[in-house]
C-alpha cells in the first residue's frame, strides 16, 4: 500500500493512494484554507469505515436484513505532543428487525479479528463500543 501527498498552498495538500482516489488534507482557517479534513480526522474516519465494512459484510453473510446502518467514532487526544488518540468510542446504529445476537457477534468479530485499523489504534488508545437498534 502506498500514499502520496502533494503540496498545494499554505498547509493544504492533495493526497492519493493506490486506489487512485484523491482527497484534500488541510488545516483550520487560522493556519490554512480549511478546505479539507485534518489528518487525525481521516484516521478516525478510516476506523469507522473499516469496522462498518466488516460489520455490514458479516451481517450480509448471516443473512441479516436492515434498513439503515451508520458508525460514528469519537476520540480523546493526549494533552502533550505528539498528540495521539488515548481513547476512542465507536457507536453502531442500525435500524430494522435485526437479530441482536448476530449484530453483537458481527461487531465483536470486527473489533477483535478483522478490523486492522482497530488493531493499529489499540496500541495507543482504549477502544470501546456501543450499539443501538431502531425498529
Tell me the per-residue pLDDT of 29-52, one tens digit each, with 9 for 90 and over: 999 999 999 999 999 999 999 999
The confidence band for 58, taking pLDDT boundaries of 50, 70 and 90, is: very high
Backbone angles phi, psi at 111, to 5 degrees: -70, -30
CA 34 to chain centre: 21
Q: What mean pLDDT value characterizes the chain?
A: 97
HSE (side-chain half, CA atoms, 13 Å) at 17: 6
Q: What is the pLDDT of residue 88?
A: 98
- Interval 96-117 mean pLDDT: 98
| Block residue for cell numbers 453473510 | 61
Cα maximum dimension of the chain: 50
- Interval 51-80 mean pLDDT: 98
The confidence band for 128, taking pLDDT boundaries of 50, 70 and 90, is: very high
Q: What is the pLDDT of residue 21?
A: 96
Nearest to 88 by CA among 116, 121, 46: 121
Please state the pTM of the whole predicted model.
0.94
Q: What is the pLDDT of residue 113?
A: 98
Nearest to 86 by CA among 49, 127, 115: 127
39-134 maps to CATH 3.40.50.300: no
Cis peptide before 82 (omega within 30 of 0): yes
Amino acid at each position: 500500500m502506498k500514499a502520496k501527498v502533494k503540496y498545494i498552498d499554505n498547509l493544504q495538500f492533495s493526497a492519493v493512494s493506490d486506489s487512485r482516489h484523491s482527497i484534500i488534507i488541510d488545516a483550520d482557517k487560522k493556519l490554512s484554507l480549511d478546505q479539507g479534513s485534518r489528518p487525525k480526522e481521516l484516521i478516525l474516519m478510516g476506523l469507522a469505515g473499516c469496522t462498518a465494512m466488516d460489520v455490514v459484510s458479516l451481517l450480509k453473510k448471516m443473512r441479516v436484513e436492515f434498513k439503515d446502518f451508520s458508525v460514528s467514532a469519537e476520540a480523546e487526544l493526549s494533552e502533550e505532543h505528539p498528540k495521539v488518540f488515548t481513547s476512542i468510542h465507536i457507536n453502531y446504529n442500525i435500524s430494522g428487525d435485526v437479530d441482536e445476537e448476530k449484530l453483537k457477534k458481527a461487531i465483536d468479530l470486527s473489533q477483535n479479528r478483522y478490523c486492522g485499523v482497530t488493531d493499529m489504534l489499540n496500541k495507543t488508545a482504549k477502544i470501546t463500543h456501543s450499539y443501538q437498534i431502531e425498529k
